Chains A and B, each alone.
Chain A
Amino acid sequence: MKSDPSTLFDKIWAQHLVAEMPGGASLIAIDRIFLHERTGSIALKSLRESGRSVADPRRVFCTMDHIVDTFPGRGDDTRMPGGKAFIVETREAAQASGIHLFDVRDPDQGIVHVISPELAIVLPGATVVCPDSHTCTQGAMGAFAWGIGSTEAEHALATGTLRITRPRTMRIQFQGRPRAGVTAKDLSLAVLSRFGSVGGNGYVVEYAGEAIRALEIEARLTLCNMATEFSAVSGLIAADDKTFDYLSGRRFAPKGAEWDAALADWRSLRSDDEARFDSDLSVDIADLGPMITWGTSPQHAIPVSAHVPTLEHSGTTRESYDRALAYMGLAPGTVLTDLPIDAAFIGSCTNSRISDLRRAAAIVRGRHVAPGVKAICVPGSMSVKRQAESEGLDKIFLAAGFEWRESGCSMCFFSGGESFGKQQRVVSSTNRNFESRQGPETRTHIASPETVAASAIVGRIADASRLPGVR
């Protein structure tokens, strides 16, 4: 008998269903748990204080990314007040519990959502949780990966399971192929602009369509990264040969006969043609240009070449609109490319992988950052950093006037250490333009690494494809 058509998410869910709970939640097996020193530390500490232990430490991983310094030659000291204690306590707790740790000086250290795919910790069809909202990034590998709180992390550590109410499913089909210079970041901003920051509330969103199949793995990670900005439980992209090629041979990837068995299973993990989603949306991307945010929510996104929208076209309430404009120091109708910037930031779990750095470097090569602009590039992992340096990208960034850092989350958010400064305008390859996210009263515009690089050079918000004198 042929089974009912099901979605990729349905299949992963069925593979992990341990039991149905009386209250309507399901007990779901968790394959991989990732922790970091900001929120994982407290989960490990609380678990120990309750007299419980980690059920299977071999499947638990921890990195130092959120608080760790990114200045060259770093150690445990950070500019964040009290930061060192987080690092030291996390290290001690990780060692005591026997989990894997990518410590400050580990060659595999990096941002959790960069190193998890890089080391093949996340695998297609796996369930992956981390007390970090951007865990949805890893859904790009065909896994159900989602962010949780520290108490939930403690539950996952102690039991190897989570109790969750089954999320609804959504599919977003991308129609057409993106123009040259239009990246996964632009696609994700287009989705947010079109459907709003609550548009995916409570859904697991599968991204589909010809344009998705054409995306390389790193671009898929960028797209899924912003599912949480869409209020979704997670993003998901079916694994394919690109995924398998990417994972093959990496540090924690299955080997030998296990790889073959895994591959056979993974190939069945895609939505059936007739599968029904609770919500099915479509976005035409053929005419899309590079996008950037004007306001204080990722949904406040418009083409780089556009004007700050009027209230009627802003997709937001008057209160939010007025507040966002006042915070950002903008007026309706302002042309974004007229806006001088104070800083440019390339990094974060959204856009800090080697392909991001290569594309940004191609733009800054042979040019120099505009006078007065502070420009920073932070590779997403030590592995990305080594690869970039072997290609000479560090020299390109440094020669152009960028700072070149050690890997970590860095100035994606303000932890009390470094800040861009009050009312400073920053173009950033990160994921959140919330009020004060990158520093008290800092004005963040989020965009692709290309747009960040071009803006740094011009000294104003700039469209990379219109840079004069491209070599």
Chain B
Amino acid sequence: MRKFTSLVAVAAPLIRANIDTDAIIPSREMKTVSKTGLADGLFAGWRYTAIGGRELNPDFVLNKPGYAGTQILLGGENFGCGSSREHAVWALFEYGILAVIAPSFSPIFHGNCVRNGIAPVKLAADVIANLAAQVERDPAKAKLTVDLERNVVIAPDGSRFPFELDGEAREMLLEGLDAIDLTLKQRTAIESFAARDRARRPWIYSIPSATHASVKSS
């Protein structure tokens, strides 16, 4: 996974409460069993003039002059609520978004960001409104800094806003760690837990193996 340490980039305000993952990437834009090929579907319902079309809606923030190369989103409460689809995060990442700043995140979306190198940064709504106001004056030049090493967001006017991210999430992002690799190092602990647990809760484990009849596609 790509490391996230510090980022200075164009930030786009998309400050609406409850931006859900259906809005970030509609179901209809998830066309194959793949983590890629999703950037075109990002915010499809808002970004284009027609459903399924690709003509840009000039009113949508990411399509406005000055927001080219946006890597930071400024969002509202409960960002990423709704469906667990990780495609929302894959689409954001593929588009180039590396940090989302919002007052709160859906827990699943938050976890998906951390697993994919996107920093979910929590700041108060009034701070985000202030950042948005500064950015909007000249988006291409008024860049934001998201510094994960120092846990701080720096506004274009130089003011600094500290944020918190729990230890493991921060470490995963800073180091670009693969969680499965890390966990597999705990194999001994996992095996000894399983041995104890099997004796204590045998009913959890006593499920017969699956039997697969040969199924033909119909």
Contacts and interface: CB of A to CB of B under 8 A. Distances in A.
Nearest to A97: B210
A296 B23 CA distance: 12
Contacts, number: 228
B186 interface: yes
Interface string A143-171: 00001111110110011110101010000
A278 to B, nearest CB: 15
B32 A82 contact: yes
Nearest to B29: A416
Interface in A418-435: 432, 434-435
B180 A21 contact: no
Given A258-B206, A436-B22, A21 B107 contact: no
Given A27-B183, A76-B218, A160-B190, A82 B31 contact: yes
Contacts of A323: 16
B124 to A, nearest CB: 13
B168 A413 contact: no
Contacts of A99: 210
A337 interface: no
Contacts of A320: 16-18, 76
Interface string A33-48: 0000011011001100
A103 B215 contact: yes
Nearest to A127: B204
Contact of B104 (A198, A228, A437): A198
A416 B27 contact: yes
Interface in B193-209: 193-194, 197, 201-209
Interface string A78-95: 001110011011110011
Contacts of B212: 94-95, 98, 101
A46 B15 CA distance: 34
Interface string B110-125: 0110011000000000
B210 A100 contact: yes
Nearest to A200: B107
Interface in A227-241: 228-229, 231-233
A18 B193 contact: yes
A3 interface: no
Interface stretch (B79-87, B138-146, B151-159): B79-87
A231 B33 CA distance: 27
A389 interface: no
B85 A38 contact: yes
Contacts of B16: 319-320, 323
- Most chain B CB atoms below 10 A, which of A56, A163, A316: A163
Interface string A51-67: 01000111100000000
Contact of A86 (B33, B78, B170): B33
A321 to B, nearest CB: 10
- What 3 A-B pairs are tightest by C-beta distance, nearest first? A416-B28, A23-B168, A75-B218
Given A123-B203, A165-B169, A414-B27, 12 more contacts: A23-B167, A23-B168, A31-B204, A39-B85, A52-B180, A88-B217, A126-B204, A131-B86, A132-B84, A151-B116, A158-B183, A160-B194
